[in-house]
Structure 1
Amino acid sequence: MTGDRDDSLEQRRKDLSAKLAERAKGEAVGKARESRSEESRKGMALGLKISSEFIAAIAVGAVLGYVVDRFAGTTPWGMIILLLLGFCAGVLNVMRSLGVVAQPGPLRPGDRKDDR
């Protein structure tokens, strides 16, 4: 009687071990899938940030150019010049966001944090 009971317990232990191994494998697959989707979300967020910075810089340049033209009476030139400056500022912001161009440094040599 105890032999049957021991065999039954051993079989149940093996079944439980198999189920736990299967569940661990499923969790590993789920974690890998989640990490891939997180990478995708990070890329989408970066793309939206960069595109919005670029479009905002051009829009600000256009609006400022329009305002200058209205008040100064230099009808096409203020818009053209400030629109081009806005485009250049947008490109610079995109390059800074991507790390191609370094962030602006301190204005004076004594302003650095590591000099203290």
Structure 2
Amino acid sequence: MTEDREESLDRRRAELGAKLSAKRVSAPEDDAKEASAEASRKGFAAAMKLSSEFISAIVVGGALGFGLDWVAGTSPWGLIVLLLLGFCAGVLNVLRASGKMAQPFSDDRNNSGR
């Protein structure tokens, strides 16, 4: 009975070793897939951040323009002007966040004059 048990353990150990060696061979493929998925997630997160900054600037400009028109009675000029300013602010925020435009007052420029 103990011999059957030992044979069974040896057989299962051999099967497990074969499965582990097959898994080790496929691990670099899994790592490459995971790296690709991570890059995709980072890109999606950046796209969501940029789009939310752009849309929020437009919404805030429109809301302030509507409020100004309602209080001052200058309809529709406040809405038009502040909506356009909100659009410009949104474009500026997206350009700054994506790195296409430098920050207006960086620390390097302020400290270099001293």
- Would you say same fold, with TM above 0.5? yes
Map of 1:1-116 to 2, 5 A cutoff?
A: 21-105=21-105, 112=111
**Offset, 1:100:** 0.6
Inter-CA distance 96–106: structure 2 relative to 1 (3 Å threshold): closer
Q: How far apart in 1 are the matches of 2:63 and 2:91?
A: 18
One-letter amino acid of the structure 2 residue matched with residue 33 of structure 1:
K
One-letter amino acid of the structure 2 residue matched with residue 100 of structure 1:
K
Q: How far apart in 2 are the matches of 1:54 and 1:68?
A: 21
**Offset, 1:97:** 1.2
CA distances 1:33-80 after superposition (whole Å, capped 9, x unpaired): 000000000011011001100000000000000111111111110000
Aligned residues between the structures = 100
Task: Please list every run of 5 or more consecutive structure 1 residues that lacks an aligned counterpart in the other structure.
Answer: 1-15
Q: How far apart in 1 are the matches of 2:113 and 2:80?
A: 44
Aligned alpha-carbon RMSD (Å): 2.6
Q: Which runs of structure 1 show a deviation greater than 4 angstroms over 4 or more consecutive aligned residues?
A: 18-21
Q: How far apart in 2 are the matches of 1:70 and 1:79?
A: 10
**Offset, 1:24:** 2.3
Q: How far apart in 1 are the matches of 2:83 and 2:113?
A: 40
Q: Secondary structure at the match of 1:75?
A: coil
